[in-house]
Chain A
Amino acid sequence: MRVAFATEENNGLDSVVSSRFGRARYFVIVDYEGGEVKGYRVEANPGSEARSGAGIKAVQKLINERVNVAVAGSFGPNAMTALEEMGIKHVEMSGITVKEALNRLKDQL
């Protein structure tokens, strides 16, 4: 299971989950198996640099990274539709660290 957390800081698992998806600066992409973090990496979100179509660019990034679940405080209309089309689950959560969010999510993963 690969989970992408939208964040504004490049601080690994201690980054705070952003209130927004498409224009978040980074994605902390976590490989999570059997209740454990197997590894993670931080990727820049190309959506944050887009003048328009940020949500779509962010989703494309997650598709390329083979992500299964996206976590952010909110998802715009385009991003939400694209995620659903691509079968990527979206979970609304923000203001807590990636670690804490994983803890809350672990039963669903």
Chain B
Amino acid sequence: MLEMAIASGKGGVGKSTVSATIAITLAKRRKVIAVDADADAPNMHLILGLGEEWEWEQPYSESMVARIVTEKCIRCGECRAVCPYKAIYVDEEGNYVVNPVICEGCETCSLVCPVKGAIVREKTLSGMLRMTRTKYGFPLISARLEPGRPNSGKLVTEEKTKAKEMTDDDTVIVVDSAAGIGCQVVSSLAGANMAILVVEPTPASFNALKRVHRLTKHFMQPAAVVINKWDMNPDLAGEIEAYARENNLDLLGKIPFDDSIPKSMAMMVPVTEAFPDSPASKALLDVARRVEAILDEWTSWFMRFRPKKPEPYRPIIIKPEGF
């Protein structure tokens, strides 16, 4: 089993397009499972031409919120006075009610409530975990969050655990990570054998690439780079190439700007299927073939591109006074 995570730091630079192409190409010769680890804005299923029909779907809940039991509540108002999030209001009938969207589950209200059992904590629905089979011969595991629910590393872990339950030794897990370098991205990268970093030649994307690269170095992961829309800014693309060379990142390829990509997205057909002869498709397929070659020569590639020395990413810790 081999797990690869596709990340970028910045959003909207082509992670899912690259992930989809890699998954479709690898699935022709290998067992593949794709994981869409961006539950805030899941889109792999749309790129792969799937609607919202899932083979299975299960509710996912993680956060706890308070609920006031109207029958027991004496309407003293203590809870409403202390709620740090102002999540408790009085409805038209004079009942105290918790707004579950605002409640953070901190339990301050239950601490001050004078009536036993008048405030309970219960799980709320955070989102859905779902799976379906694509017509390209691999299953897709995805998740969808309710508005205002935190996208968490735990949800990504649940997705990856589902994927691993369906795998055997020869399976390749392709994890399309979320943007950023937060909890869910850490969780997408943790345990992955390699990372593919997608970047476009803009200062924002290059900066984000460096930030996510710090994480792959932390995890001692060999990493590769794909430059998307490189011809929009060849000078900066050149700088990114130089960065890749200097930092022992494997440059897998450069995708030209090509309106066949947005067109194919509108059609909900992967660009490599809709416009296989377009310049972007050719470049994407070259990238996917490079990934196949990496898997064929895994050990030597791993040894060559694994960071030579650990560079742990140390969070800045602000200690309380006197600690």
Interaction A to B: yes
- Please list the residues of chain A having a beta carbon within 8 angstroms of any beta carbon in chain B: 8, 18-20, 22-23, 48-52, 54, 73-74, 76-78, 80-81, 85, 92
How far does the Cβ of A74 sit from chain B's closest Cβ, in whole Å?
Answer: 5
Q: Which of B174-226 contact A (CB under 8 A)?
A: 183, 186-187, 190-191, 215, 218-220
Given contacts A77-B313, A81-B317, contact A20 B150 (CB under 8 A): no
Of listed B157, B190, B218, B219, residue having the most chain A CB within 10 A: B190
Alpha-carbon gap, A85 to B312, bound state (A): 14
A81 to chain B: which residues have CB within 8 Å?
Answer: 312, 314-315, 317
- B154 is an interface residue with CB less than 8 A from chain A: yes
- Are A20 and B190 in touch, CB under 8 angstroms? yes
Q: Which 9 A-B pairs have the closest CB atoms?
A: A19-B191, A51-B152, A77-B313, A20-B191, A20-B190, A23-B157, A52-B183, A51-B62, A51-B154
- B167 is an interface residue with CB less than 8 A from chain A: no
Contact of A76 among B150, B154, B161, B190 (CB under 8 A): B190
- Are A50 and B154 in touch, CB under 8 angstroms? yes
- Are A52 and B150 in touch, CB under 8 angstroms? yes
- Closest A residue, CB atoms, query B313: A77
- Are A78 and B315 in touch, CB under 8 angstroms? yes
B264 to chain A: which residues have CB within 8 Å?
Answer: none
Instruction: Place the interface of chain B in its size category.
Output: 20 to 34
A77 to chain B: which residues have CB within 8 Å?
Answer: 186, 215, 218, 312-315
- Are A76 and B186 in touch, CB under 8 angstroms? yes
- Please list the residues of chain B having a beta carbon within 8 angstroms of any beta carbon in chain A: 3, 62-63, 150, 152-155, 157, 161, 183, 186-187, 190-191, 215, 218-220, 312-315, 317
How far does the Cβ of B2 sit from chain A's closest Cβ, in whole Å?
Answer: 11
A8 to chain B: which residues have CB within 8 Å?
Answer: 161
Alpha-carbon gap, A52 to B149, bound state (A): 13
Alpha-carbon gap, A48 to B156, bound state (A): 11
**Given contacts A23-B153, A80-B218, A85-B317, could you give 15 more A-B pairs where the C-beta distance is less than 8 Å?**
A18-B191, A19-B3, A19-B190, A19-B191, A22-B153, A23-B190, A51-B63, A51-B150, A52-B152, A54-B154, A74-B190, A76-B218, A77-B313, A81-B314, A81-B317
A54 to chain B: which residues have CB within 8 Å?
Answer: 153-154
B63 to chain A: which residues have CB within 8 Å?
Answer: 51
How far does the Cβ of B145 sit from chain A's closest Cβ, in whole Å?
Answer: 12
- Closest A residue, CB atoms, query B316: A81
A19 to chain B: which residues have CB within 8 Å?
Answer: 3, 190-191
Of listed B63, B152, B153, residue having the most chain A CB within 10 A: B153
- Closest B residue, CB atoms, query A53: B183
B312 to chain A: which residues have CB within 8 Å?
Answer: 77, 80-81
Alpha-carbon gap, A22 to B218, bound state (A): 15
- Closest B residue, CB atoms, query A76: B186
How far does the Cβ of A56 sit from chain B's closest Cβ, in whole Å?
Answer: 10
Given contacts A80-B312, A81-B312, contact A73 B152 (CB under 8 A): no
- Closest B residue, CB atoms, query A95: B1
